[in-house]
């Protein structure tokens, strides 16, 4: 008895079947991949000038260079950090800074020195570096919101050193800290509080720096 030859399915039918299976696998893979949470980007609110050059005092004729701030830990990145309770660090979901906090605060310090007007020039250690009589070295220790009695407040801590550029000698050092209660618990309200705290701390740094470099 002669066995009938086996008949293979047409090639185009096999191709369609393979494509259908591939598409099903891809759709299944896409469905299990975690979707990315959209991020809102925040900047510090515009600084509030506390002094005008006329009221601040005479120009010292001195030039200051601000070095790149040191920073580590949770505030080294762009996430907005919150301490919901003592000893616990978290971040606000779906929210990031436009730049790392150390850069935001250095920009705020530069704005404060320029608005104050008692130094002849302010520069950084990036790009072309003009002459400087003194260096201002900083380390950011805290830049976050913290809850106390169920209400958030902004916390900023900054260590600063003034260094004479001619001999690299430390002229003065100081630790600054400021807090500002937030008007509410939302991220925009916390950002506003951090902006006000940055203004206050920046003016404290400016006044202290001018006092130190004016002292013989």
Running along the chain, 216 residues long, what does each successive block of 10 average in pLDDT? 47 48 45 64 85 61 93 95 94 96 96 94 83 96 96 98 96 97 97 98 97 81
pTM: 0.79
Cα–Cα dist 157/154, whole Å: 10
Establish if 181 belongs to a structural domain: yes
pLDDT, residue 126, reads 81
Residue 160 CB neighbours (<10 A): 21
Report yes or no on 141 lying in a domain.
Answer: yes
Query: Has residue 204 been placed in a domain?
Result: yes
Provide the CATH number for the domain around residue 125: 3.40.50.10610
pLDDT at 16: 53
Domain hosting residue 74, numbered range: 67-214
> Quick one: CA dihedral 121, 125, 131, 135, positive or negative?
positive
Residue 133 placed within a domain: yes
pLDDT of residue 57: 65
- The confidence score (pLDDT) of residue 14 equals 46
pLDDT of residue 150: 94
Query: How many distinct structural domains can be found in the chain?
Result: 1
Residue 55: inside a domain: no
User: Looking at the domain assignment, is residue 91 inside a domain?
Assistant: yes
Burial class (CB in 10 A: 0-12, 13-18, 19+), 74: middle
**Ordered alpha helix ranges (H), 99-148:** 101-116
DSSP state of 70: B
The pLDDT value given to residue 23: 47
Q: Is 43 part of a structural domain of the chain?
A: no
For tokens 């958030």, the residue is: 152
Beta-carbon contacts of residue 137 (< 8 Å; ≥ 6 apart): 67, 70, 160, 161, 163
């Amino acid at each position: 008895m002669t066995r009938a030859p086996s008949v293979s399915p047409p090639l185009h039918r096999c191709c369609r079947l393979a494509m259908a299976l591939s598409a099903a696998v891809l759709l299944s893979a896409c469905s299990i991949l975690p979707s990315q949470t959209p991020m809102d980007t925040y900047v510090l609110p515009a600084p509030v000038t506390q002094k005008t050059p006329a009221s601040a005092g005479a120009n010292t004729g001195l030039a200051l260079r601000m070095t790149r701030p040191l920073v580590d830990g949770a505030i080294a990145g762009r996430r907005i950090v919150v301490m919901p309770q003592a000893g616990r660090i978290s971040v606000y979901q779906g929210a990031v800074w436009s730049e790392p906090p150390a850069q935001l605060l250095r920009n705020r310090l530069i704005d404060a020195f320029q608005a104050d007007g008692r130094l002849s020039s302010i520069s950084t250690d990036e790009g072309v570096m003009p002459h400087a009589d003194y260096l201002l070295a900083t380390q950011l220790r805290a830049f976050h919101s913290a809850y106390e009695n169920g209400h958030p407040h902004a916390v900023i801590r900054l260590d600063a050193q003034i260094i004479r550029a001619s001999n690299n000698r430390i002229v003065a050092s100081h630790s600054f800290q400021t807090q500002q209660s937030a008007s509410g618990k939302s991220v925009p309200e916390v950002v506003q509080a951090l902006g006000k705290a940055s203004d206050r701390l920046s003016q404290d740094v400016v006044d202290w720096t001018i006092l130190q470099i004016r002292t013989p």
